[in-house]
Amino acid sequence: MTGSIGDRLATSFNEQFDQHGAWRREFALRLKLLAEWMKDHELLDAAVEERLRRLESQVRSDKVMVAFVAEFSRGKSELINAIFFAGYGRRIMPASAGRTTMCPTELGYDAEVPPCLRLLPIETRLQPQALMEWRTAPEKWMRVDLDVNDPAQLAQALEKVAEVRKVSKDEARALGFWHDDTPDDNPMADADGIVEVPKWRHALINIAHPLLKQGLVILDTPGLNAIGAEPELTVSLIPQAHAVVFILAADTGVTKSDLSIWREHLVTESSGTESRLVVLNKIDTMWDALSTQEQVRAQIDRQRATSASILGLPEEQVIAVSAQKGLLAKVNRDDRLLQASQLPALEAALGHGLMGQRQKILRGAVAGGINDLRHEAGRVINIRRRDLAEQMMELKGLRGKNAAVIQHMRTRIEQEQGEFDSSGSKIHAVRSVHLKLLREVFGLLGTASLKSELRQLNEALRQPGIKLGVKKAYAETFDRLQKNIARAAALNGEIHAMLTGTFRQLNAEFGFSLQAPKEPDLARYGRDLELVQRSHEQYLGVTNVLKLAQPEFADRLVRALGTRLRVVYESALGEVELWNKSSASQLDAQLRERRRNFVRRIEAIERIQQAASGLDERIGEIHQHEAALDGLDHKLLELTGHLVDQPVPAQTAEDRLTA
């Protein structure tokens, strides 16, 4: 045998992710070379430097999150083992009978943190802080160091995510695992009224797995009861996942609890179903020695069709697999069993769907940033080109003129320089008005404004009684947030109009070529707010009314909302700050180049006064400088073109092993 099917499957998820990681590394290298080249040629002003920094950060820190969601006993952890960890030759995530993931678990990689498992105690649910806030308090998590070169130690350590605690019903109720009004969803109590609940609220696993190093984040979620008890998981983490893999059992199809998870947590108006894959797991339970292969296949196809119909999905988004047989086949390098498990079909769907979509989005965003960067740097080159043209006209006008005319020219240049230097107060006044308007925008999009809105919402939700008006309170909050975004956009329009008029005046007075940059598109952040609102309103249905009557639960929900809204507001604020830098840098660049221009013009006059041949030499030098600028322009287009149109480099096996 010359290699397993998984090795040869070029379109598998792992292969696609390898290519994505290679593209990111190549992009980061080319971006670094561009930055060094621009610095060497003094094209790196504050706005260009900020754009470069953002592009590098965007590509380097780009994460792809895949959320695995299922009710208990659907084989979710086994599926994660089969797709991502078969290379260890054994199970890594706990997936045996009675040992399964009890708390939401994130697998990712942070080079600043040693390989470890961090566990947040379940008791933190009794405190108001959101999960995002707990992430910034590492001392509150229990840490277990991991040896990534020892599969047995790794698997043993990760068994902690399956740990449970025995608590009274009152404790379970306080922690969100016991609801008197929905007894069917409660955990089993023993004769003494003691129930089992997860020991941990959240787990973070940091290991240098090749796929995790390239930016993959795996979110492993427990069943419906745990999902419903953790609002941040429902309204923040799952909605922001780039793909969701929803696992069903092939022998049962879509059960009532499966359908509840799907409708309440996975399908919203905002997300649609394109990034949702449904896995009918455990098809090996349908393999029957008394049935032909065709009969078994027909039975599986019927289950796929039925499940797709119930969930409202195209049938091709429902994939039947056997995770357990797929893992066994990979460990034993059994091609026939791997093909029967149908795991490669799921990997291919993840590769084509998730990675293809993610690369397209990232490349589109990168292309926009590169084009803006090219425009900023190109403007500096054009300023230099225009100044050289002015010098050339001035020098050619001196041909055949006597010393008195040349001295008069020098006096005129010095006079222009003096007038220009005295214009600083006018430019300072422009900046003062600009910054005054900007401060108002920063106030609308700042942390204090957002905290004020969330405080009002929290106070409304803390009113006594069942929150039948909770949707109204949320709607009013989002209405105010949208008005803030709209007001900030209107102010940006005023700033842009002011800059346009002022730049036009400065261009006429000093011969500049200033152009007010287009104001940020804040409307897209308004659309982001709509998506956040929909995901929260999805959670405010009748099934959660009783939970919302609990002040501590409503408080956690508002804190989860704050986590997502901060991302939207900070992104909008970042766009405005970059816009401001672009305007200021453009003015600074033209002031700097104009001052240099005065120095060069006076130096040229001095050389002409000192030697008869100085005029022709200086004209020849200007021709050389013009040619050099043409070269700079060409090189800029070449270097930025490589970034926009960069192909994915081929990878060797050695590259993959050392990634």
C-alpha to C-alpha distance for 315 and 377, rounded to whole angstroms = 50
pLDDT classification of 541: cutoffs 50, 70, 90? low
Whether residue 411 has pLDDT greater than 50? yes
Whether residue 295 has pLDDT greater than 80? yes
Contact status, residue 149 vs residue 141, Cβ threshold 8 Å: no
- Domains of the chain (ranges; CATH) run 5-163+199-362 (3.40.50.300), 164-198 (no CATH), 397-637 (no CATH)
Element (H, E) at 494: helix 470-510
3-state DSSP assignment of residue 194: strand
| Chain segment 154-201, per-residue pLDDT in tens | 889 988 988 888 999 888 888 878 877 767 777 788 888 898 888 999
3-state DSSP assignment of residue 8: helix
pLDDT above 90 covers a percentage of the chain that reads: 18
Where is mean pLDDT largest: 183-197, 400-414, 539-553, 623-637? Answer: 623-637
CA torsion 500-501-503-507 (nearest 10°) is 130
pLDDT classification of 226: cutoffs 50, 70, 90? low
Whether residue 360 has pLDDT greater than 80? no
3-state DSSP assignment of residue 620: helix
Q: Measured in whole angstroms, how far is the alpha carbon of residue 104 from the centre of its chain?
A: 20
Contact status, residue 262 vs residue 234, Cβ threshold 8 Å: no
Please give the pLDDT value at position 483: 93
Whether residue 116 has pLDDT greater than 90? yes
Please give the pLDDT value at position 280: 95
pLDDT above 70 covers a percentage of the chain that reads: 86
| Chain segment 580-616, per-residue pLDDT in tens | 888 888 888 888 888 888 888 888 787 777 665 677 7
| Chain segment 493-505, per-residue pLDDT in tens | 988 888 888 888 8
Contact status, residue 185 vs residue 71, Cβ threshold 8 Å: no
Over range 83-95, report the average pLDDT: 85
How many C-beta atoms surround the C-beta of residue 459 within 10 A? 11
Whether residue 336 has pLDDT greater than 80? yes
| Chain segment 561-580, per-residue pLDDT in tens | 888 898 899 989 988 988 88
Please give the pLDDT value at position 394: 78
The full length of the chain comes to: 659
Please give the pLDDT value at position 117: 95
**Between these two residues, 403 and 112, which has the higher pLDDT value?**
112
3-state DSSP assignment of residue 631: helix
Buried b (16+ CB within 10 A) or exposed e, 34-58: bbeebeebebbbebbbbbbeebeee
pLDDT classification of 392: cutoffs 50, 70, 90? confident
Give the mean pLDDT of the chain: 81
Beta strands, E only, 31-125: 64-70, 105-108, 116-121
How many C-beta atoms surround the C-beta of residue 551 within 10 A? 14
Please give the pLDDT value at position 654: 34
pLDDT classification of 489: cutoffs 50, 70, 90? very high
The reported pTM is 0.69
| Chain segment 1-32, per-residue pLDDT in tens | 334 433 433 346 667 777 777 777 788 888 88
- Ranking 160-174, 293-307, 531-545, 584-598 by mean pLDDT, the lowest is 531-545
- Ranking 150-159, 211-220, 562-571, 625-634 by mean pLDDT, the lowest is 211-220
Contact status, residue 287 vs residue 250, Cβ threshold 8 Å: no
Over range 53-74, report the average pLDDT: 82
pLDDT classification of 650: cutoffs 50, 70, 90? very low
**Rg (alpha carbons) of the chain, rounded to whole number:** 32
